[in-house]
Amino acid sequence: MTQAVCILGVTGSIGQSTLKVLEQHPDQYTVFAVSAYSRLDELLEICKKYHPKIVVVPNEKAFELKQKLNNENLKQIEILTDEAGLIAIAEHPDVDVVMAAIVGAAGLLPTLAAVKAGKRVLLANKEALVMSGDIMMQAAKQHKALLLPVDSEHNAIFQSLPHNYLDAKRTEQPQLGVSQILLTASGGPFLNHSIEQLKDVTPQQACKHPNWSMGQKISVDSATLMNKGLELIEACHLFSISEHFVTVVVHPQSIIHSMVQYVDGSTLAQMGNPDMCTPIAHALAWPKRLTTHVPALDLFETAQLNFQKPDEIKFPALNLARQVMRAGGLAPTILNASNEIAVAAFLDNKIRFTEIPQVVENTLQVVQNAKAENIDIILHTDMIARQVAEQYIMEVGG
Ligand code: NAD
Ligand code: MG
């Protein structure tokens, strides 16, 4: 029996890497449903190659896609649209595994739907967990979903934790002899830039990550270190640990993907060449292992592994995220929403790179924090925070 996979965000960087892993194991997995947002031609190629049963696109693209599928004799592929379509494929009874690889808040409801349907959920869409935190984690427990980290750092932490860690009692303290999590960061393309130099960096420079090839939004987040901030929050929720047990370590080579320290003085690390196919394969098959095309690490080639503390003055986003995690409630939603708006404005040449954390900080000051009681409050706050961030961007001259 093969497992039916649904890929939310199939045309993205993670979506493509997922297909790369799946195509090596056609005896174990079939691509049942996929979603895309804008790149219809790429989606069509995917339909031709994998013959999914269902595809989801925005309503305004559905007609064009229908014609393209008809021209290719792929009439049998069902087209669903918008958020309702994303939710329908995420919770579809025939689906076993959901890859949550939509970028940003748009992935929240479909990811949560997959969790509530008790699927094996491979979580790349960190923004969804940052926004919904406890609600997502409790839903996973209640509906017996297997929420497995695809983010390379969290996947490395998961691999380095005791095998029964996720079953351990959930407290703010590390359990089972774990003393600390070391979350590694490459430092991004501007690690050695001065604050002065940072003011003039362009979107093109920000999107050129030294070690990873990723979508634009996460590339900019990696450059501001907001990605590490989001990952700090993600780690606290996934591993039920308070933020002061998570230390960020800059490791420019991206060979060690994160570490776990134990009370007896041990430090366990997961290492590998920087390729997302490794954590994707791990989350797909866990506790088994799948072969991938990723070559084994050659330590003689690697030669050097360096570590340093993050510069939180040059990259204030990291500390903002730490404060937000401490504050809890709706603060992570406010941080995430304003960051999405700020990154889009930077990519659109409306604000400077160094203004991204300023937009976030301002929004956190203006929008009131409260308890994140339910998803409706989270979505409402997300909308308000976006408006406040946009207003601020207009005022600073965007
Ligand atoms: P990407 O920009 O390459 O792809 C995003 C995907 O989401 C695309 O398929 C796009 O069609 C879809 N999408 C975008 N906006 C949408 C919307 N409003 N509604 C529905 N679908 C929409 O991004 P990516 O690099 O693949 O990242 C995806 C997620 O995985 C992000 O949350 C990112 O933080 C996380 N992640 C990525 C990497 C990586 O190496 N790329 C690593 C770790 C985590
Ligand atoms: Mg990561």
pLDDT at position 169 is 64
pLDDT by residue (tens digit) across 151-200? 999 999 999 999 887 776 666 778 889 999 999 999 999 999 999 999 99
Give pLDDT, residue 213: 84
* Cβ count within 10 A of residue 42: 15
Q: If you write DSSP's letter for every residue of 291-306 in order, what string do you get? A: --SPPPP-HHHH----
* Most ligand 1 atoms within 8 A of CB, residue of 102, 226, 275 to mutate: 102
Taking 50 as the pLDDT cut, the residues of the chain under it are none
pLDDT at 174: 81
- Asked whether 120 lines ligand 1 (CB < 6 A), one says no
CA distance 389 to 363: 6
Our answer on whether the CB atom of 21 is closer than 6 Å to any ligand 1 atom is no
Q: Where are the domains of the chain?
A: 3-149, 152-202+211-311
Nearest CA, atom 9, ligand 1: 9
**Burial (0-12, 13-18, 19+ Cβ within 10 Å), 285:** middle
pLDDT for position 178: 94
Model pTM? 0.98
Q: What is the pLDDT of residue 136?
A: 98
User: Cα of 93 to ligand 2 centre, how many Å?
Assistant: 30
- Separation between Cα atoms, residue 233 and residue 328, nearest integer Å: 10
pLDDT value of residue 167: 73
Specify the ligand 1 atom closest to the Cα of 218: 34
Pick the atom of ligand 1 nearest to 16's CA: 26
Distance 277 CA to ligand 1 centre (A): 15
Superfamily of domain 3-149: NAD(P)-binding Rossmann-like Domain (3.40.50.720)
Q: What secondary structure does DSSP assign to 21-48, as a single string?
A: HHTT-TTTEEEEEEE-SS-HHHHHHHHH
In Å, how far are 23, 64, 181, 323, 388 from 235, measured between CA atoms? Answer: 30, 41, 9, 15, 28
Rounded Cα distance between 134 and 137, Å, is 5
pLDDT value at residue 260 = 98
**pLDDT value of residue 398:** 56
Beta bridge partners of 56: 35, 80
The separation between CA 313 and the C-alpha centre of its own chain, rounded to angstroms, equals 25
pLDDT over 70 percentage in the chain: 98
